[in-house]
Amino acid sequence: MKTAQPITFTADAANALSVVLQNTDYDKLFVLTDETTHELCLGRLEECKAVELAGKITISPTDVNKNIESLSQVWQSLGEGGASRRSLLVNLGGGMVTDLGGFAASTFKRGVKFVNVPTTLLAMVDASVGGKTGINFNGLKNEIGVFNNAVEVIIDTHFLSTLDRDNLVSGYAEMIKHGLISNTQDWAELLNFDLNDVCLDRLSELLRKNIAVKERIVAEDPMEKGLRKALNVGHTAGHAFESFAMSEGRPVLHGFAVAWGIICELYLSVVKIGFPKDKMRQTVTFIREHFGNFAFTCDDYETLYRLMTHDKKNTEGYINFTLLGDIGDIRLNQSASKEEIFEMLDFFREQF
Ligand code: GLY
């Protein structure tokens, strides 16, 4: 996989895409949306003539549809629309669309090119950048997928004005994660941002800096052999919460699960490697205020523990966490015992 993935920041996604199309060798163009981005975002991109004329594929929205059925629908539509190996797929949507679309493109006829045009904060800051593609399978998040870069990622924050509050807040969780693994100044700026009265210009400034944190890490370790695991802060516990919520028929947005996972993993960071308690407290307070609670009882601990054992990052039977000795002091491959994990879940429940 190429290590550098070009990212264009623009106030005019249609124009930026026209430029990309002029510089890309392709025969047919296809645009993948979900029902929501079809309605709210496609019009803005159709100012690019080629998009207006492109084959359109629309799938059902939300992470519960990031599954083999939607994937099969995309493959089928590409096939029926006459896509060849030289075709190009534009993924216009949130992380569900960019992940699934990226995987559909990477596997159709052994791989066609794709461009990501993320429309949610979560997709802009995380999912659309860095080459991870995939779907959920067998009740597990992102269980099937490949690493493959988009030929371009086009970031136009005008799309954020279509977002509801929960989706905006959800994306912000990944920004907090990037702040935690970056430096104290970035982290403090993020906690000082007013999420109750969002200024899109200020958010765009924070976003650029924030995406650069991920870009630096992915450039160094695109295939997640080492440093890229830093991006998993909050995700071992977070993915367990997310899969658990899905299995209970009360799905939660990914970023909410990550924010709750950050509470858990900062607790482990404090007790195992001395992360400063005051910084944990400030982060927990911010998360509690904006993300609320995730309710579960001690009867659910075994299930959550079992879900953590399925995490792709585990090796040799240990549950693997990325913890922090301080802001920016990343400690990879930290394991925790079952007892410590149960204490972590106790701590989480005591916060609410
Ligand atoms: N979302 C974490 C990563 O891209 O590695």
Q: What is the pLDDT of residues 91-100, one digit of tens each?
A: 999 999 999 9
**In 3D, which of 235, 202, 226, 347 has the Cα closest to residue 284?**
347
pLDDT of residue 51: 97
Residue 316: the pLDDT is: 61
* DSSP category for residue 212: H
Average pLDDT of the chain is 95
Distance between Cα 130 and ligand 1 center (Å): 7
Question: What is the average pLDDT across 336-341?
Answer: 94
Taking the centre of ligand 1 as the mean of its atom positions, its distance from the CA of residue 125, in whole angstroms, is 10
Pocket around ligand 1 at a 6 A CB cut-off: 126, 130, 132, 228, 231
Query: Does the pLDDT value for residue 246 go beyond 70?
Result: yes
Per-residue pLDDT band for 63 (boundaries 50, 70, 90) equals: confident
Exposed e or buried b for every residue in 191-200, given b needs 16+ CB within 10 A?
eebebeebee
Give the span between the Cα atoms of 108 and 79, in whole angstroms: 9
Mutation test residue for ligand 1: of 63, 122, 132, 217, the one with most atoms within 8 Å of CB: 132
Consecutive H or E run containing 81 = none
**What pLDDT score was predicted for residue 164?**
93
Q: What is the pLDDT of residue 229?
A: 94
Q: How close is the Cα of 24 to the center of ligand 1, in Å?
A: 26
- Mean per-residue pLDDT, 323-345: 96
| Phi, psi for residue 182 in degrees, rounded to 5 | -95, -90
Helix (H, G, I), strand (E, B) or coil at 337: coil
| Nearest ligand 1 atom, CA 231 | 2
**Residue pLDDT, tens place only, 261-296:** 999 999 999 999 999 999 999 999 999 999 999 999
Provide mean pLDDT across the span 174-192.
98
Positive/negative CA dihedral, 275, 232, 152, 66: negative
CA distance 132 to 134: 7
Does residue 4 have a pLDDT over 80? no
Tell me if 258 sits within 8 A of 173, measured CB to CB.
Answer: yes
Q: How confident is the model at residue 331, as a pLDDT?
A: 97
What local confidence, expressed as pLDDT, does residue 141 receive? 79
* Res 2 pLDDT > 60: no
**pLDDT reported for residue 1:** 56
Going from the Cα of 273 to the center of ligand 1, the distance in angstroms, rounded, reads: 23
Beta strands across the sheet bearing 88-93: 7-9, 152-155, 113-118, 88-93, 29-34, 55-59
**Helical axes 301-309 vs 338-350, angle rounded to 10°:** 120
Helix (H) or strand (E) holding 90: strand 88-93
pLDDT category of residue 317 using cuts at 50, 70 and 90: low
Residue whose Cα lies nearest atom 3 of ligand 1: it is 231
Res. 5 pLDDT band, cuts 50 70 90: confident
In which band, very low, low, confident or very high, does the pLDDT at 342 lie, cut at 50, 70 and 90?
Answer: very high
Residue type, 140: L
| Long-range CB contact pairs, 35-44, < 8 A, 24+ | 35/59, 35/60, 35/61, 36/61, 36/93, 37/61, 37/92, 37/93, 37/94, 37/97, 37/119, 40/119, 40/162, 41/92, 41/93, 41/119, 41/159, 41/162, 42/92, 44/13, 44/14, 44/156, 44/158, 44/159
SS3 295: coil
State whether residue 98 is helix, strand or coil: helix
Distance CA(71)–CA(77), nearest Å, equals 10
Q: Rounded to two decimals, what is the model's pTM?
A: 0.93
The model's pLDDT over 38-62, given as tens digits with 9 standing for 90+, comes to 999 999 999 999 999 999 999 999 8
Burial class (CB in 10 A: 0-12, 13-18, 19+), 58: buried
